[in-house]
Each structure stands twice: as structure tokens, then as C-alpha cells.
Structure 1
Amino acid sequence: MSHATPIDLRSDTVTRPTAAMRQAMANAEVGDDVLDGDPTTQQLEALVAERLGKEKALFFPSGSMANQAAIWVHTRPGTELLCDADAHIYRWEIAAAAGLCGVQCHPVQGQGALFTVDDLRGHLRAPSIHAPEPSLVCLENTHNGAGGAVTSLADMQAMQQLAATHGLPVHLDGARLWNAATALQLPISALAACADTVMVSFSKGLGAPVGACLAGPAEFITKAHRARKRFGGGMRQSGILTAGALFALQHHYDRLAEDHASATYLAQVVDGAGGARVVMPHTNIVMIDLPTRRAAQVVTRARELGVRISEWHPGRVRAVTHLNAPAGVVATAAALIRQALEEVLAS
């Protein structure tokens, strides 16, 4: 069996704007956001700040830029930030903390899939003239590298309290914080309260084509605005972009549980195929561990059968459920992924 247009489960970033979202973007009221503000962007920023329980929010072209702006404001050159050893900020932002902010990442290696307050405590250095001073703790929820795993509210609160005892601010990479709040059945503001600043993305589970927001105290966001300008993130009629993000937040947030249910179904179908083992998902990301390092072959065979998945590393592949892959489509994809696993791993 094959599909002329493959089912694309490589990421939840592959979604296309819905017709209604495109209409909202086409009809957006706009202004010059650099000169005197864009009204649609201002509406989105106000709504995000309200949802997250923060004083102010600022729109960015990408989550990576928003994360780096937060680091730029929170830290000073020659210090270090502590983050999970597999954090997006450390692994997938091309050393921007070092290159842009002069800050070293100190990776915290957890005992499990997610680092805990005890892991963090064990990585805080004793003061020494020979060691860099810490300036920031970065959390990530959901955790992309751990397969969309969710850090509990209690664990986040514990890490925030530990950071506070050392005089350290906390930044939360919440690219998929919407998914974490959905999985925990909590208001997103409860999770956002565990950090001084929070980045949230609109171009993943919510299905917008582009964009993220950084939220925090008003004085901090004013400084982050300068960082955004420095990084080249000033935009003009940004309302065309923020209208898509605004529509996504208003119309797609409440359906995220559907993606989580689809991911769980997919995991149950493919687990054990050809000896593969699934990391049971907390949210919408399914990591499939292979008994041999044949991820590239599995990805190729799945594509031939009509499903696009991604190679995470040679012994692991990843599938992500999303807005453009409803339950029936995921059911078809799950059967095809299982077939690909069985064929490749048996050969």
C-alpha cells in the first residue's frame, strides 16, 4: 500500500493553516509593529500574558529567538545556565547561548528521562574563583528530547524553589507547554507560575504557521524587546502572522487531547513490532526504540509505504501526531509504521 501524498508524522510543525485560519490572516488588522505597534499583535500579546498569568508578552518569529532573548536579558557573559542535558536550548539552538550571549550551558544529567530537583541540586557548583557563576536555570515542558514527556507541577515548583534559594531566575522553554497543561489537566498559568519568564510556541501543536511569545514581568519584556531588535526580530505588519497564532490559540488549544489520544493509540499498535519498543507517550510525541541501529532504513521503508516519520538517532525513530492527522489517519499510519518495522527489523 502507498499514498500519493504521504501521511506526515515527522513533527507537529508540518501542519498547514486551515481555511478559517487563512481567512483570519487575510482579514487581519495591521500596523507597523516597529514604529507604533500592530493591533493584532498587541491583541495576541495581551491574550498570551493573561493566559500565562504574566504581566506582559512579546511576539517573536520563533521560539529559539524568544529563548535566546530571555537568556540575553537574564544572564551576563562569562556565567552559566543550568538546563537538562537533552534540552532544546542546549542541543538544538546551535550554541546560541554561547555565540549570542556569552553564556555557557551546564547540562544537568538526570537519573531518569527528566531531571529532578535532586539532579539540579547535584549540579550546582560550590562558589569558586575557578568555576563560572550560575546565572539562570532553564526548564523545558514538555521535554522534546524525552519524547514530549511532562514534568509535574510539583517537580517544577521544587526546582523553582531551589533556584530561588540560590538567587537564580528560572526560564521555561514551553514550546509545547499547551500540551503539558492539557496532559496534566491544569490551567497553563499554574505551570507558567513556576518560572520568571516563559516561552510558548504557536507553530507546533496549535497549528499556526509561525511564531512564539515570551512572557514575564513588564520591565523584563521591555529589555527583551531590545534583544529582539538586536537579533533581527523586528517585524512590520506582523498582524498577518499573529492573526494565525491568535486563531490557533482560540480554536485549536482545546483539541490537543485528541492528538494525545492518537499518539497513545499509535504507540500501542507499533510497540513490539520487529522487536521495537515504544516509550509510551505523555503527549503527542511517540519515540520508538529499535533493537538494532536501523532507523534510516525504517524511515525509508515507512515513506515507501506512505508515512513520513523521522530518525531521532540511529537506534530511534519518532512519530508526532497533530492537527492535520486526525484519528482515522493516525490509525492508517500506525499500521503502516508497524509493517515497516517488521519488514526492516526482520531482514
Structure 2
Amino acid sequence: MIIDLISDTVTRPTTGMLEAIMHAKVGDDVFKMDPTVNALQEKAAAMFGMEDALFFPSGTMANQTAIKLHTQPGDKLICDKYAHVYNYEGGGAAFNSGVTCKLIDGNRGMFTAEQLQEAVAGRSDIHVPYSRLVCIENTTNKGGGACWDFSELKKLQKISTDNNLAFHLDGARLFNALVAKNETPQQYGHLFDTISICLSKGLAAPVGSILLGSKEHIAKALRIRKLLGGAMRQVGLLAAAGIYALDNHIERLAEDHQKAKEIGEVLESVAYATKVETIETNIIIFYVDEKIGADNFIQKMKTKNILLTPMGEGRIRIVTHLDYTNEMHEILIKELKEFLK
């Protein structure tokens, strides 16, 4: 048995999801003739109370499209130093849109309204890039699945509006935050100009992300998606998996969160774990004693068929997900407790 906790992207379609894929009606999505893709987009837009939506093959492409929508070459986007759009999208903001990133030194991937106000303050002349866009990530990946406080997001939105800045949400794991904080998609749909949501992480679909926004934004996004090579044909097979995920895999995220907290409790009790980040959702980030070393710890766990991810600076990440069973959970707990024995 392989216990793969590298990411929540490692899941495989459930029986019900495979049935949905097998029976999906398909057409040519480039011509907007795939009925299942159209149904997914309409469903997602309605969930968030936004005008329109567009299906993408990846979250990175959805985020990069949003950045290109809101900026021009030479502009500046503002994000946290831990942000996925800066750290894990291959330098796409610079390559695809020709923009620079103003990084805020936040806490676990989240910054305050005061910090954003400082970032947008100052002169605006030919020597300085125009600030055009604020990017938020919820939950924060590098921050250990941390959830933003919604009241703080409202303050950030006001500052963005007051300064004529677009407001984009990288919501790759937004549904984890919604479940953990008992919030609704509509709350976020009213707050952001554009939102990307991932179907292939906690929701366990095999492929796909959705970009939400106004009809005008999505019309432009369709052109950008084509430019980036993201136009697809009979992709209703994958859209069917996305619809199934939205219908069946949201509430169950609470199970992943509970398992993550139980793992965290074990790590708090063992001597070799020197620090465990606060656990709110399905991501655990912890440090091990320097005498053991993160790489050594990961390799030893690998010999026990348990796969973990290094996060740099001595940190290790564990991510719970749909395919992480109760049996696997018991084995992991046992191995963590007995690691030094």
C-alpha cells in the first residue's frame, strides 16, 4: 500500500465520477458546442453569483489568464511573498503578461489591509510601474492551508476599489476554506472581480479549473485561453467529472480537515517535530529536528511507503485528500509515533 500525501492532486476518480464521465454528452468546446462544459460553466457561475465562467485545463492557466486580463506589460501586481502566482507558476506573470510583482511580507501567505495600503501608497510617475492588480490566495498553499479572515478581505477589496485596482482570487483550494469557515461561494463572488477555482485538488476531479468573472472578462479570457493553447475539443468528459465533484465532494472536505488535525496532534506530541504550523484545513506543515533533517525524514518515511513533500527551509508538507483512507490514516499515525523507535 502506497500512502501518497504529496498533494491532494493525486486522487483518482471515484466510481460515481467514472460513471458521470462515461455518460457525458460532448461536443466541440472551441465552438462552445459541448453541452457538459456549458453546464459546468453555468453551474459554477450560479454558485458564486457571478455572470460567467470558463473551463481551463489547469489552475495555472486560469490564474495567468486573469493576470493578463487585468494588466498591461509594464504594470505591477501585488501579492504575498508566498503567493502561488509568484512562486509556482513558472514566472508566468513576467513571461505571459510582462508584469512585475510587488511582494508583501505577510503571515503564512496572508497580509493585512494596512500592508496593502502601504504597498499602493507613493508616487505614480514614469519611473514606477502602475499598480493594476491585487492577487489573493485562499487557502494559502505555502502557508499551510491557512484561511483568510473574510472581514480582512472586505477591507482589501475596498482599498483595491479606491485605488482602481482589480481584485483576483486564486481559489485553488477555496472550497476547503468555505467548509472550514462556514462561508458561501456567493460571499466571494460579490467581493472579487475574478476567481479561479480548482476541481482537481480537494474536489478530486482528474483535470480542470474554472475562471469566474463578468461576461466581459470571460469573453476576453476565451481569447487568452486560445492564445495560451488552452482551447479544448470534446472536453465534456472532464467537465462531467467537475460537475460530479461540485455535487458530491464539497461537504466531505471536512473529513480531510479532521484527519489533518489528528495528524497535527500527533506531531505536536513527538520530540522530533520542532514546530507544527496551525492547521485549519487539509495541509500540515511541520519542521523536524535538524539532527534528523527534513530530507532524511522524508526518505525514511518513503521506505515505509509513505510519500511526503519537502517545502524548503527544513519544512515538510502533508496533504490529506479523498484517497487517504481511514486504514492509511491509522498506519501513518502509528509510523509518526514510532519514528524514533
TM range (shorter): over 0.9
**Quick check: 1:207–1:323 contact (8 Å CA) kept in 2?**
yes
- Are the counterparts in 1 of residues 82 and 109 from structure 2 also a CA contact under 8 Å? no
SS at match of 2:66: helix
Are positions 1:289 and 2:287 aligned together? yes
Which runs of at least 4 in structure 1 moved beyond 6 Å after TM superposition?
none
1:38-88 deviation digits (Å, cap 9, x = unpaired): 100000000100111110000000000000111111111101000011100
Please give the residue correspondences for 1:105-120 in structure 2 after superposition, counting only pairs within 5 Å: 105-110=101-106, 114-120=110-116
Q: Secondary structure at the match of 1:122?
A: helix
RMSD: 1.4
213-222 or 297-306, which moves further after superposition?
Answer: 297-306
The residue identity in structure 2 corresponding to 1:100 is N
8 Å contact 1:321–1:330 — kept in the other structure? no
1:269–1:335 contact (8 Å) kept in structure 2 = no
**What per-residue deviation string (whole Å, max 9, x for no partner) do you get for residues 274-323 of structure 1?**
33121121100000112317111111111112311111114111101100
**1:306 partnered with 2:302:** no
Structure 1 residues 77 and 180: CA distance shift in structure 2, 3 A: same
Find the aligned partners of 1:141 and 1:193 in 2 and give their Cα distance: 16
**Could you give the per-residue CA deviations for residues 85-104 of structure 1, whole angstroms, max 9, x where no partner exists?**
11000000011010011111
1:21-36 to 2 correspondences below 5 Å: 21-36=17-32
TM-score normalised over the length of structure 2: 0.96
CA distance in 2, matches of 1:36, 1:63: 20
Q: Any idea what SS the aligned residue of 2:311 has?
A: strand
* Inter-partner Cα distance in structure 2 for 1:112 and 1:7: 27
**Per-residue deviation, residues 312-337 of structure 1 (Å, max 9, x unmatched):** 11411110110011344223212213
User: What is the number of equivalent residue pairs in this alignment?
Assistant: 338
Percent of matched pairs sharing the same residue: 40
TM-score by length of 1: 0.94
Name which of structure 1's ranges 122-131 and 95-104 shifts more when overlaid on structure 2.
122-131
Alpha-carbon spacing, 1:310–1:217, altered in 2? closer, same or farther (3 Å): same
1:332 maps to amino acid: I
Write the distance in 2 (CA, Å) between the matches of 1:331 and 1:88: 32
Matches of 1:327 and 1:164, distance apart in 2: 46
Residue identity in the other structure for 1:273: V
- Structural mapping, 1:120-199, within 5 Å: 120-126=116-122, 127-199=124-196
* Mapped partners of 2:13, 2:52: distance in 1: 27
Contact 2:45–2:212, Cα closer than 8 Å, also in 1: yes
Which ranges of structure 2 fall in alignment gaps of 5 or more residues? none
Q: Separation in 2 of the partners of 1:331 and 1:187?
A: 32
Contact 1:6–1:303 (CA under 8 A) maintained in structure 2? no
CA separation of 1:176 and 1:113: change in aligned 2, threshold 3 A: closer
Question: Once the 2 structures are TM-superposed, how far is the Cα of residue 168 of structure 1 from its aligned partner?
Answer: 0.5
User: In 2, are the aligned partners of 1:172 and 1:195 still within 8 Å (CA)?
Assistant: yes
- Does structure 2 conserve the Cα–Cα contact (< 8 Å) formed by 1:87 and 1:143? yes
Question: Of residues 212, 217, 221 in structure 2, which corresponds to 1:220?
Answer: 217
Tell me if the contact between 2:72 and 2:97 (Cα under 8 Å) persists in the aligned partners.
yes
Q: Given that residues 259 and 323 in structure 1 are in contact (C-alpha distance below 8 angstroms), is that contact kept between their aligned partners in structure 2?
A: yes
Shift of 1:163: 0.7
CA contact (8 A) 2:267 2:276 kept: yes
Indicate the residue corresponding to 2:316 in structure 1: 317
Structure 1: stretches of 5+ with no match in the other structure: none
Query: 2:132, 2:173 → 1: CA distance?
Result: 24
Q: CA 1:227 to 1:260, structure 2 compared with 1: closer, same or farther past 3 Å?
A: same
Query: Whole-Å Cα distance in 1 between the matches of residues 98 and 109 of structure 2?
Result: 28
